Amino acid sequence: MKSNLILAVLLLVLLFPAAPLHAADKPVQLALFNPVQIFPEKDSITGLRLSLLYGKNVNMTGLDWGLVTRTTGNFVGLQESLVGIVDGNTTGIQYGLVPVTKGRLTGLQAGFATISDHSEGMQLGFVNITGAMTGLQSGFANVSGASDFAQLGVMNVTGTMIGLQCGVADISGHADGLQLGVVNITGMSTGLQIGIVNVTGATTRVQIGLVNVIERGGWLPVLPIINGSSKCAK
């Protein structure tokens, strides 16, 4: 435990050396539950915040630990909370049962359910939800408005996929890349589908599987083994 704490501090020093220390920022916060805390919620913390039940501040930079923590502005650093909520942007690591960033996440979220508006980095959880993902989602269920890189899970759902979907069920509005799963479903595919059942509204590439369905413009509406588009690039 002691070695893990030392490692966390070292990581903070290495990853966030340029974090500004404002004169008004407080170095340490101890909260029982807001407003029963050393410094009021209008203050920002640069250093360490310990929230025994519920702590709340404007901005937080450093190590954030507690049962439920709330940052109404931006967070930079390492957060370990049962429920960690950042209303603004997060740069660093959120770890806990339910880490939430309502703005942009740059770094890592790990927990049972990870939630962000826009993620650049990784979401690792049983359920991962984001409005837009640039990076990796890995879990039982991955949901994003748009995905650029990879979704790895049992169920992967995205509006637009650029990269890789790999799971039991892969669902997208538009897939430009590789769907690799038992069941692959997309409204439009400009990539490759490989699975037991592949379904697309239209495609400019190829489907490989036991059942391949192309609603419009396919060699045939349904074909076993391989199907593709008459407009498929040669």
Let me know: does 70 contact 60? Beta carbons within 8 Å: no
Q: Looking at the domain assignment, is residue 104 inside a domain?
A: no
Beta strands of 87-189 (E only): which ranges?
90-189
Let me know: does 116 contact 98? Beta carbons within 8 Å: no
Please report the pLDDT score of residue 26 as a whole number.
Answer: 95
Please report the pLDDT score of residue 137 as a whole number.
Answer: 98
C-alpha distances in angstroms, 136 versus 75, 115, 123, 157?
21, 14, 6, 13
Q: Looking at the domain assignment, is residue 24 inside a domain?
A: yes
Q: Looking at the domain assignment, is residue 156 inside a domain?
A: no
pLDDT < 70 positions in the chain: 1-23, 231-234
- Dig out the tokens for 55 from the structure: 């702590």
Please report the pLDDT score of residue 230 as a whole number.
Answer: 75
Q: Could you tell me how many residues make up the chain?
A: 234
Q: Looking at the domain assignment, is residue 50 inside a domain?
A: yes
The CB density around residue 55, as the number of other CB atoms within 10 Å, is 30
Please report the pLDDT score of residue 80 as a whole number.
Answer: 97
Prediction pTM value: 0.87
Let me know: does 8 contact 24? Beta carbons within 8 Å: no
Please report the pLDDT score of residue 22 as a whole number.
Answer: 55
Task: Give bridge partners of residue 188 from the DSSP assignment.
Answer: 174, 202
Please report the pLDDT score of residue 24 as a whole number.
Answer: 83
In the listed set 88, 104, 130, which residue is the last one of a domain according to the structure? 88
**Helices in 16-139 by DSSP H: which ranges?**
none
Task: Give bridge partners of residue 5 from the DSSP assignment.
Answer: none
Interval 67-81: pLDDT, tens: 999 999 999 999 999
Please report the pLDDT score of residue 3 as a whole number.
Answer: 45
Q: Looking at the domain assignment, is residue 233 inside a domain?
A: no
Q: What domain count does the chain have?
A: 2
- Distance between CA atoms of residues 60 and 71, nearest Å: 7
Element (H, E) at 63: strand 60-71
Q: Looking at the domain assignment, is residue 106 inside a domain?
A: no
3-state secondary structure of 126: strand
In the listed set 88, 111, 145, which residue is the last one of a domain according to the structure? 88
Range of the structural domain that residue 209 is part of? 162-228
In the listed set 54, 72, 88, which residue is the last one of a domain according to the structure? 88
Q: Looking at the domain assignment, is residue 222 inside a domain?
A: yes
Q: Looking at the domain assignment, is residue 19 inside a domain?
A: yes
